[in-house]
Amino acid sequence: MDENNTDLSLQQQEVQQEKQEEKQHEKYDLFNTDELAELYSKYQPPLDEKVIEIILSSTRGRDCLVDIGCGSGSSTRPFCSHFSKVVGVDYSPAQINLAKSLSQQTSNVQFVQGSMYELPLADSSIDCIIGVMIAQFIDLPKLFEEAKRVLKPGGVLLFHGKGSPKVVQIERETETKSETETTISDLNERIAYIKTGLFAGLFHDRTYFNPHKYSNIPPLHADQEIARVEWTSARWTTLPDLADYMLTWSAAGKYCAKHGISSSELRRKMIEVLEGGDKGVCRVRCEADRFTWTARHVTGS
């Protein structure tokens, strides 16, 4: 190959790498506003106790846990009383700033702004890495390389995902009458419309997510124990709170950017869709799928 050709292919590689990096940044930027950081921390339900139990029962050491893509730290803080040291890493400065301000009372947690593919951690130093609502956004092979570097022998990598809400019960105001009263199936159709109609084409790649619930994540090590747990969680909420929760979806951020509207305008629109002209629904009980994927290296255990 002559020199000019080598230069050209190097240039092409650089352009391709820049494009890939830009694409990655688009993903981070979705979460990188003070508004979204606030929304996320307010309206995402707290980490299920069951996830904490799964992590504690599968992880042997208690020196250090790392939460990758930690956001504002709601999935990080619950581990501070169980591990000597806890580290949260997130690319978004807005999320990390909020995580720090929400964690001032806790001395053994550290929040670091940076990439999960280049963790500021020593080789073989970590007992457990967790990633909550993150596996669908990331370059898994790249993360696996970094996980293998920092995990102690026998260390654990765990992903946790949450599915979308499904209404299973409705409570009505007895006074508010409406010509057509909303049923459970109406509400589920309206939620489905927001997801697949309003937000059509705006969700990220869901290869490892629903409907697979992480069952197709490839192995981390050739010799490893993999465990997957699925369950359903339920909670009572209101339609405005449901709209607030859906505002935290990455597709909602993309929708606002695409249509040049504020998140409060989108919120109003979603409440209108959910109510469907019937203001009588005061509370709804929603169920959602929960799932975890855990890998533990057997050789080093």
Chain residues in the site for ligand SAM (CB under 6 A)? 27-28, 31, 44, 69-71, 74-75, 89-92, 95, 115-117, 132-134, 137-138
- Minimum Å gap between C-beta 197 and ligand SAM is 22
Q: Which is nearer to ligand SAM, 190 or 213 (CB)?
A: 213
CA angle 72, 104, 82 (to 5 degrees): 75
Residue 192: partners with Cβ closer than 8 Å, 6 or more residues away:
none
Q: Which is nearer to ligand SAM, 53 or 171 (CB)?
A: 53
**Do residues 134 and 34 make contact, with C-beta atoms less than 8 angstroms apart?**
no
Q: Which is nearer to ligand SAM, 74 or 292 (CB)?
A: 74
- Minimum Å gap between C-beta 274 and ligand SAM is 22
Q: In angstroms, what CA-CA distances link 234 with 74, 88, 166, 273?
A: 19, 27, 9, 22
Helix axes 34-43, 239-247, angle to 10 degrees: 130
Q: Which is nearer to ligand SAM, 55 or 187 (CB)?
A: 55
Task: Read off the amino acid at residue 70.
Answer: C
- Minimum Å gap between C-beta 133 and ligand SAM is 4
Q: Which is nearer to ligand SAM, 115 or 224 (CB)?
A: 115
Q: In angstroms, what CA-CA distances link 143 with 71, 117, 129?
A: 17, 5, 11
- Minimum Å gap between C-beta 214 and ligand SAM is 15
Distance CA 199, CA 197 (A): 6
Q: Which is nearer to ligand SAM, 89 or 220 (CB)?
A: 89
- Minimum Å gap between C-beta 184 and ligand SAM is 28
Q: Which is nearer to ligand SAM, 138 or 147 (CB)?
A: 138
- Minimum Å gap between C-beta 115 and ligand SAM is 4
- Minimum Å gap between C-beta 43 and ligand SAM is 11
Q: The tokens of 23 are what?
A: 């694409």
Q: Which is nearer to ligand SAM, 71 or 165 (CB)?
A: 71
CA angle 112, 117, 118 (to 5 degrees): 60
- Minimum Å gap between C-beta 48 and ligand SAM is 11
